[in-house]
Amino acid sequence: MPRPTGTPTWLDYGAPQLSESLDFYGALFGWDFEDSGPQLNHYTMAHKDGAPVCGLMDTTGVTGPDGAPLPAAWNVFLAVDDIGARLAKAQEAGARVLMEPGHMAGTGTFALLADPTGARIGLWEADGFDGYAFSGAPGTPVWFELMSMDFDASARFYADVFDFEVTPEGAQPGTQDDSARQQCAAPAYATNAPAERASAGICAASAWFPAGTVSFWRLYFGVADADAAIERIRTLGGSLLDGPMDSPFGRIATVADPKGAGFQINQPLPDQGA
C-alpha cells in the first residue's frame, strides 16, 4: 500500500566522481551498491542488509542554472498520491518546479521543487516501489526535518500541499511543553503528525543562521555509537560540523562527507530504545 502523502519515503544523493562517495558511505554504514545500468544513467541503489536505503547519482559535468558545478548534496522525497495535482498545489502556494515529473516504469514518478522558503524537496508517487525500508537500524534513515528560516510559511505550505498535520512538539502526548528539539534554536518545532505517526519535523531555525540563508531539509542516519562514527567519518575524510550532544532524542552530531554534503547521525541513548 502506498505511504500516506507527506511521509518521507526516499532520499537520494548526487556528487561528482560518485565512486569516491560510494567508498565513503559503504565503509561508514556498511551499504552495498547496485548499479542500475546505462538506461538509468547508472543510478546506484544502496542497500543495508538487503533492504533499500537510498539512491545515488554521479553529477560529474552537471551544472546548475548559474553554470557552476552542482555541489554534493542529499535530497529528501515525500510520498504523494497524485504528483500532478500536488505539483499544481505547490505552485499555487508559491513553490518553483526544479525538475518536471519523470516516470520510472514499475517503480514510480518523481519531481523536485523549491518550496516558498527555498528548500529543495522531492515528490514520489509510487507505482511498484514505495521507497526506503524503515527499520531504525544503524546505517538507515531515522528522521527528517526542515530547517526553516520562516516557520509559519513552511507550516502553511506543507499542511496545504503535503497534508502535514502540523503538531507543535509540546502538544504531543508524553512530551514536555518546553521540550523544543535541541537542534532547533527557536522554541518552535513541529512534526508532520502527532506522536507515533510523526516521521518528519519543521524547525524554526533562523536564529542559528545569517540573514539570507535558504531553508533546507536535513536527514538523520542511525548509528550504534555516535563518537565512534565521528572518528570513522574523520578517518574516511569527512568532518564534524557540530556536536555531538545528548538530547531527548539521542546523541546527535552534524557531519559532512569528504565532498561537503552534510547529514546528521543519531545514536539512541540507553533509555530511548533501539
What pLDDT is attached to residue 179? 34
Query: What is 141-272's CATH number, 3.10.180.10, 3.40.640.10, 3.40.630.30, 3.10.20.580?
Result: 3.10.180.10
Across-strand partners of 76?
11
What is the average pLDDT value for the chain, to the nearest integer? 90
Q: What is the CATH number of domain 8-126?
A: 3.10.180.10
% of the chain with per-residue pLDDT over 70: 92
Region 208-214 average pLDDT? 92
pLDDT at 70 over 90: no
Res. 115: pLDDT tops 50:
yes
Per-residue model confidence (pLDDT) at position 172: 42
Q: How high is the pLDDT of residue 148?
A: 97
Residue 243 pLDDT > 70, yes or no? yes
The CA distance from 52 to 163, in Å, is 26
pLDDT of residue 178: 34
- Integer Cα distance of 24 and 28 in angstroms: 6
Query: What local confidence, expressed as pLDDT, does residue 83 receive?
Result: 97
Asked if 265 and 255 count as a contact pair (C-beta separation under 8 A), the reply is yes
Helices and strands: H and E segment counts in the chain: 4, 16
- Which value, to the nearest 10 degrees, does the dihedral of the CA atoms of residues 226, 202, 183, 141 take? 0
Note the pLDDT of residue 99.
93
Tell me what pLDDT residue 170 has.
61
Pairing verdict, β 51-58 and 44-48:
antiparallel
Helix, coil or strand: residue 70: coil
The predicted pLDDT at position 26 comes to 98
Predicted confidence at residue 42, as pLDDT, reads: 85
Residues of the chain with CATH 3.10.180.10: 8-126, 141-272
For a pLDDT cut of 90, what percent of the chain falls above it? 78
Q: Which of 189, 198, 119 is nearest to 151 (CA)?
A: 189
